[in-house]
Amino acid sequence: MGVTASVSSSRRLFAGRDQPAKAVGKLAGLAGIFLILLAPAARAFDYDRYQPADIDVISARKPPAGLGVDVFPAKFYRFEVTLASQAAPCQTKFLKWAMQTSGINKEAIEKAPITHCIQIKSAKGKRVTMFIQDVLAGSLAQEAPTGGKLTLYAMLIYFDQNGPGVVVSEFSGQNSNASDQKANADCGCGTQFHSGSDFEAKEGTPVPVLADGIVVKIEQDELATVDTPTAGKCGRYVVVKHTFPNGRVAYSRYAQLGRLVDKAGKPISVGLQVKAKDSVGEVGSTGRFHFEVRPIESATMDRSPEWSQRYGADLTMDWSRYAPVDPAKFEPAEFDKKGTAADKK
């Protein structure tokens, strides 16, 4: 059995986008800024990582031979199911062993106790038992009635003779509260695909900047739409331009904001010089904001006549010309080391 993966922590532990052993280092410079500065108010859960899957198909997998168990790096799935029974205590000793064997560190497992299981009913009516993090058990009872429809965000850890070993990391249901429904919704930042990461935090929480830079764009319209495939409708936003020592440049954008003010509450303006972790705005009434990174790369530059016609004369829209990258995988130090003259601007 292969054992190579780890999982990072966020709103519910084991919910992150990257592998945990690397996540502390990687995310501390980027998305991790938000997790560190906004904690404990922030609830950053990467819903996009969880791919749609059919529990009937997964459960139909042939079990390992004999008394064998297949353990592998965690796989992240989103299931549409019916809740058959609420959380109840169950044996999880083997699960914890399997999680450690799959690469999840012991400290992370201990920080998110798992002592309960739920039963769900699949589309074909099959009953499947799943483990659920204790922090979710009470919420599930309040927000999701037995027999109600659920969306489960879960990790597949192992297969044994009884079927898949699945741990529920988050859920949404018909009776979830309004703030959770907003959190689960697509933020609209990208008409073809989501262009960054979304974070949750209490309204009024300052939103910190990725790195030193200069504010090059401020959008005050909460209904603002950018007509490019990777931008879409993001409401109020701020764009910061970062020029690194080697001459390479990247843009970072902070969208779906409330007030566009600094930490002291004073309005920010184009041309403002900011330092890493300075505030460029506040979380709005939705309790959510969007973060993206767009390096200036010649290979990803939009040279289409459509872009030039719409935004070619507006220098403040230059950021939209470049493709976004996964913020969790963008490392400023590595970006500063690599590149060619063609990628400097």
Q: Return averaged pLDDT per consecutive 10 residues of the chain, 345 residues in all.
A: 30 38 33 47 65 94 83 93 92 93 88 91 93 86 84 94 92 55 54 75 89 95 86 90 94 94 92 94 87 93 93 94 88 78 52
How far apart are the C-alpha atoms of 92 and 110, rounded to whole Å?
12
The amino acid occupying position 115 is: T
Question: In the beta sheet, which residues pair with residue 208?
Answer: 279
pLDDT recorded at residue 14? 47
| Residues 202, 41 contacting (CB under 8 angstroms) | yes
166 to each of 6, 105, 134, how far by Cα in Å? 15, 17, 14
How far apart are the C-alpha atoms of 23 and 17, rounded to whole Å?
8
Q: Which domains does the chain have, with CATH numbers?
A: 20-179 (2.40.50.140), 186-343 (2.70.70.10)
Instruction: Count CA atoms within 13 Å of residue 279 on its CB side.
Output: 20
pLDDT recorded at residue 124? 92
pLDDT recorded at residue 168? 94
308 to each of 9, 143, 311, 315, how far by Cα in Å? 41, 49, 5, 11
Give Cβ neighbours of residue 304 (< 8 Å, ≥ 6 apart).
Answer: none
Q: How many Cβ atoms from other residues are within 10 Å of residue 276's Cβ?
A: 14
The amino acid occupying position 45 is: F
pLDDT recorded at residue 45? 66
How far apart are the C-alpha atoms of 23 and 85, rounded to whole Å?
35
To the nearest 10°, report the CA torsion of 173, 178, 184, 190.
Answer: 140
pTM value?
A: 0.53
How far apart are the C-alpha atoms of 236 and 257, rounded to whole Å?
5
